[in-house]
Chain A
């Protein structure tokens, strides 16, 4: 099973700042099969990025994804108040696994 490790566990930033979230895989993941989700309290996760770098429908262009192999990154260029949430990466290899999440909180 491929284990995804997200860092940092918690990221404290202010609106307008840039956020960089990391997702590291225990073995190589096809870029096609790496996705990112946003989850707010009491809500279901929302798809942000698929195929490592493609934005899902309706996702603002301040969200971007990059990476390959075992290292992937979600970047939010300028944080808006509604961006403070928990973010998960997810991979599909022989099975599906999610990272443990990064909580993005207001500083």
Chain B
């Protein structure tokens, strides 16, 4: 059973960089076939895809966030990470990491529990 767990600061100051890590267990990022993803949910709102990374390092970002987002992978630790720069209060959200599967379809089949990140001074 694949499990994902987000970790990182719960409070970030405006204009700084938000950094989160997702640790994957029960499966190897290096095995390929999956897109390791970040998705966020503003308080009381819907879901917004941020981007994902393939084990090879190829990345795909939401065009609306692309200028501020970097996703990286560390296959030796079975982790992938999110950096979001120049944050504002509008970036306050629950951040989820998830596994994206593309097998005749595309869907997010495993999710972390989510971590709330608040942007405030």
Contacts and interface: CB of A to CB of B under 8 A. Distances in A.
By DSSP majority rule, is chain B's interface helix, strand, loop, or mixed? strand
Contact of A100 (B46, B62, B108): B46
A56 B104 CA distance: 13
Interface stretch (A11-19, A20-28, A46-54, A71-79): A46-54
Contacts of A99: 46
A37 B113 CA distance: 15
A50 to B, nearest CB: 4
B46 A88 contact: yes
A99 B114 CA distance: 19
A84 B10 CA distance: 29
A98 B107 CA distance: 11
Contacts of A95: 49, 62-63
A95 B61 CA distance: 8
Interface string B93-115: 00010100000111111011110
Interface residues of B, number: 18
B74 interface: no
Contacts of B49: 95-98
Size category, A interface? 20 to 34
A54 B109 CA distance: 13
A1 interface: yes
B105 A45 contact: no
A32 B108 CA distance: 13
Nearest to A51: B105
Nearest to B112: A44
B46 A90 contact: no
B54 to A, nearest CB: 15
Given A37-B108, A99-B46, 20 more contacts: A33-B106, A35-B107, A44-B96, A44-B98, A44-B113, A44-B114, A45-B108, A47-B109, A50-B107, A51-B104, A51-B105, A54-B105, A88-B46, A88-B47, A90-B108, A96-B62, A96-B106, A98-B47, A100-B46, A101-B46
Interface of A: 1, 32-33, 35, 37, 43-47, 50-51, 54, 56, 88, 90, 92, 95-101
